[in-house]
Amino acid sequence: MGLYSTAMETIEAYTGLSPAAFFTIAALMFVTYRIVCSMFVDPEEFNDKKPIDANISSTQPIPIPAPIQEPVQLGDMTEEELRAYNGSDPSKPLLMAIKGQIYDVSPSRMFYGPGGPYALFAGREASRALALMSFDPRDLTADLEGLSESELEVLQDWEYKFMEKYVKVGQIVTEKIAVLQTDDGEANVKKEE
């Protein structure tokens, strides 16, 4: 009791405040202190975090995705030969041709692989279908006859997209032209007549 009243008298003498006011102010200061503290990360805690994170990543390495086969240059092939690359043989890459250029579309197996929405294009020269935005199997051909300016433009946009996204691995040749002209890429694109 004596100690309590001594303490109160001391507080009043030093601060000029009533004990009630002193404790209210002290409580407010403590609350403010805690709020301000919570706004900053304790430097030690902050430094500790990195080793913990490093440990997690070293004990649980980031899973490496299923090996993606590197595109291999396959060179010239006929539309007939291209058909073998429709995804039915998992050891073969998925190929697709646009304007006579063959692209390895294996990275987009979900599009072109068996069961994919664009599986019909796999292993095929799809120029006409892409120009017409057609899923008709009869349009799976390099024949661009009768296409309008804007349809050819659509095809051009597809070609740019494929050139950018996929690796070109060869080009389509017709057997006849392949024998007659070896190094003329543009001529090879044309359909045999």
Ligand X SMILES: *[C@@H]1O[C@H](CO)[C@@H](O)[C@H](O)[C@H]1NC(C)=O
- Selection from ligand HEM, ligand X, none that 118 binds (CB < 5 to 8 A by kind) is ligand HEM
CA dist 116 and 93 (Å) reads 15
Residue 122: other Cβ atoms inside 10 A: 25
Please report whether residue 78 would count as binding ligand X according to CB under 6 A.
Answer: no
Of residues 38 through 77, those in contact with ligand X by CB under 6 A are 51-52, 55, 59
The stretch among 33-41, 62-70, 132-140, 168-176 that binds ligand HEM (CB under 6 A) is 132-140
- Residues in contact with ligand X, shown as a per-residue x/- string from 150 to 179 under the rule CB under 6 A: ------------------------------
- Residues in contact with ligand X, shown as a per-residue x/- string from 90 to 119 under the rule CB under 6 A: ------------------------x----x
Q: What crossing angle do the helices spanning 2-15 and 19-39 adopt, rounded to 10°?
A: 70
Q: Which of 8, 92, 118, 147 binds ligand HEM (CB under 6 A)?
A: 118
Please report whether residue 165 would count as binding ligand HEM according to CB under 6 A.
Answer: yes
Distance in Å, CB of 140 to ligand X, minimum: 11
CA angle, 65 then 70 then 112, to 5°? 75
Backbone angles phi and psi of 81, in degrees to 5: -70, -35
Please report whether residue 111 would count as binding ligand HEM according to CB under 6 A.
Answer: yes
Which H or E element spans position 24?
helix 19-39
Q: Please return the burial class of 47, using the count of CB atoms within 10 Å of its CB with bins 0-12, 13-18 and 19+.
A: exposed
